[in-house]
Structure 1
Amino acid sequence: MDAARRHLLATFGMAGIAVFLPVAAQPEENPRMYGLIGKMRATPGQRDALIAILLDGVGGMPGCLSYIVAQDPADADAIWITEAWTDAASHKASLSLPAVQQAIAKARPLIAGFDSHVETVPVGGHGLPKA
C-alpha cells in the first residue's frame, strides 16, 4: 500500500478510511487518547463537496470525542481534519462502520491528495476528558 493511500485511510478519520500505521498497544486499564491531524487536498473546485461528505454522518462513531473539518483560508482546495478518539482501537473500529465505508467511496474521486498527517496523543482540552 503506498504512502498516499495509507495517509488517506488514516486521515479520513470519519473514519479514517484505514489506519496509517499500527499504534502500539496500551494497557487496557489506562488507554491513551488517540489523535490525528491531517491536511487533505480536494480536486480543484471540489472542496465544499468534499467537506459535505466528510461532515455527513460524523455523529455516532463510538469513541470519537472530536471530529473537526476546517477550510484552509490560504488554499482554496485544502482541508484540515482534526480528530480526537478515546483510544486508537476506537478509531480503527470506526473504519468498518457502513456509513464510513459509504463516505469513503463517495469522497475518493474528490480527493487530490494529502499534504501532511500526524498522529497525536491528546491530553485534554475543552470538551475532552482529562487524561
Structure 2
Amino acid sequence: MKVGRYVRMVATPGAGAALADGLLAVAEGMRAAAGCELYVVNRTPDEEDVVWVTEVWADEASSDAALNQDLGEAGLGAVLPLLAAPPEFIELTPIGGPGLS
C-alpha cells in the first residue's frame, strides 16, 4: 500500500527561501531513493517562512528506509538548523489520480 504525507516546515524568520532551497537539494537526492514516487517542495504565497513537502512512497518500507538514512546523507542535516520548530506531519494513504502510478 502506498504511503504519503504532507510535511509543513516553518523556518526561522527570514529563512524561508534558504529552507526551500535546502529542501530542493533533498528532493534531488530523493530521485534515487528506492520507492520514492513523489517528493515536491511547495511554498505558499502568504507565508514566506513556511515550506511544505508532498511525499508519496511505493510502500511503508521505502518510506522508512528514506527516513532512517543518515540525515547528512539525505541532505536534511543542512536544513534542520533553519527550522523554527519541529516539522508537522500529516500522514496519508494515496489512492489514485493523475500523476500517481
- Shorter-chain TM-score category? 0.7 to 0.9
Q: Name 1:60's counterpart in structure 2.
A: 32
Q: CA deviation at 1:121?
A: 0.4
Q: Aligned in 2, Cα 1:69/1:104: closer, same or farther, shift over 3 Å?
A: same
Percent identical? 36
**TM-score, length basis structure 2:** 0.84
Matches of 2:10 and 2:79, distance apart in 1: 11
The 8 Å contact of residues 62 and 90 in structure 1, kept in 2 or not, is answered as: yes
Aligned counterpart for 2:44 among listed residues 72, 90, 106: 72
More strand as a share of residues: 2
- Does residue 62 of structure 2 align to residue 90 of structure 1? yes
The 8 Å contact of residues 39 and 114 in structure 1, kept in 2 or not, is answered as: no
Structure 1 runs of 4+ aligned residues shifted over 4 Å read none
Q: CA deviation at 1:116?
A: 3.9
Q: Which is further off, 64-73 or 91-100? A: 91-100
Question: Please, what is the CA RMSD of the aligned residues?
Answer: 1.7
Amino acid across the alignment from 2:63? H
Q: Please state whether the residue corresponding to 1:43 is helix, strand or coil.
A: coil
> Which runs of no fewer than 5 residues in structure 2 stay unpaired?
none
- Does residue 20 of structure 2 align to residue 51 of structure 1? yes
**TM-score, length basis structure 1:** 0.66
Question: Which of the pair has more CA radius of gyration?
Answer: 1
Q: Name 1:39's counterpart in structure 2.
A: 8
Q: Name 1:112's counterpart in structure 2.
A: 84
More helix as a share of residues: 2
Q: Which has the higher contact order (CA 8 A, sep 6+)?
A: 2
